[in-house]
Each structure stands twice: as structure tokens, then as C-alpha cells.
Chain A
Amino acid sequence: AQSVTQLGSHVSVSEGALVLLRCNYSSSVPPYLFWYVQYPNQGLQLLLKYTSAATLVKGINGFEAEFKKSETSFHLTKPSAHMSDAAEYFCAVSDQNQGGKLIFGQGTELSVKP
């Protein structure tokens, strides 16, 4: 069975600092991996996805993530945090047999201090 673990339910960074949100997955078949962001009282917005092409994936708003098969990880990074990045971030996994079914991690709430 697939699963996703996000390390750290809360992460706090200063404005301008590096953002690193950790995600580890478990999958018996090659996975598709996603990062979503959720702002208060809103749905989820897709930041980026990995679908077995390039291992370094660039997304919207300056975010990127690197797929590391040996570490079963897909950590999300952004070189310089902005106040508007404060939100909850979710890592999710699916595979070619799952269609439109995503398994989500528990989420990481990112706070950005001025």
C-alpha cells in the first residue's frame, strides 16, 4: 500500500530564508508525486508534480522538489521565503494504477516571520 509521511507538522522560517518541507513516500510501484498548497478557507492548489521525467521538478511561486528514489523522498524547497508563502502544504502520491486517487501526507503548516 502507498503512504506518505511529512516530517514536521509545523515549520517556521524567517522571511528570505530557505524553505525546506520534507516528504517521504512508500510505494511498491513507480510513484507519481505531488505537492499541493492550501490557504485558509480554500481548496488545494497544485504546486508541482513528478511523473518520472526529470528528477528535479520546478513548480509555481519559485518552489521546486527533487525526487530521490534511493531515499524515497520528495522534499519541497524554496530559496527565499516570502510572507505570502505562509500556508499548509501537502505531499501526495499516486501511481499509474490508481487513476484519480491521491494519498496525502498529514500536511505541514509553514509560518513565515518578518
Chain B
Amino acid sequence: KAGVTQTPRYLIKTRGQQVTLSCSPISGHRSVSWYQQTPGQGLQFLFEYFSETQRNKGNFPGRFSGRQFSNSRSEMNVSTLELGDSALYLCASSFRQGGAYEQYFGPGTRLTVT
């Protein structure tokens, strides 16, 4: 099976702009989670979508939003970008095995805000 793909891989935006990142999960996986990775804060959970519904949400401001489509592809959007939003954004798709959701990560989108 093909792995998790994320587009674009690299992105440069200016403060105040908005950005949309895309994630295509592994075929058959219905859960998609998003994480932000920064040197200072490490890996932080943004939100999870399952069957087009947000199932879990992390502690991020409302500027961060997401959605999932019927084919399980997901997008996340960040509006009114701030310098602190510069980060690696990772998407993970998962399936449930042995009770736990086993997550498989994409390569990430590196967002730089100037």
C-alpha cells in the first residue's frame, strides 16, 4: 500500500496570510490526525478526524481548523498566520488494532512564516 502523502512539502507564507495543507491517508484508514512539530514545543496534537467528523481536538486557537472528505483525505487550514506558526506539520492516518490506533505518519509539510 502507498504511504501517507502530504502536499505541499515546503511552503513559505507571510504573516497575516492563510494556508491550506493536504493529507492523503493510507487506503482503508478512516482516521486522520494532525500534529505540529517545533523545536521549542515538540510534537503537539492538533486534531483528529474520523469518518468526516472531528473526534478529538488539541489546545490550539481557532485559527487552526481542519476537515475530512468522504474519501478520508484531510485538509488543515491556518488563518491569519503568525511567525510562531512556522513548524513542521505532520499528518498521520491510523487503523485500530488490539484496541489502539496504530498511526502512520507522512513526511510532513514544512511551513515557514516570514
Contact = CB atoms under 8 A, between A and B. Distances in A.
Q: Main SS of the interface on chain B?
A: strand
A18 interface: no
Contacts, number: 74
B96 to A, nearest CB: 9
Interface residues of B, number: 29
B94 interface: yes
A: interface residue count bin: 20 to 34
Q: Main SS of the interface on chain A?
A: loop
Residue of B35, B103, B106 ringed by the most chain A CB atoms within 10 A:
B103
Contacts of A94: 100-101
Contact of B48 (A52, A90, A99, A107): A99
Interface of A: 32, 34, 36, 41-46, 49, 51-53, 90, 92, 94, 96, 98-107
Interface of B: 4, 31-33, 35, 42-45, 48, 50, 55-56, 58, 90, 92, 94, 97-108
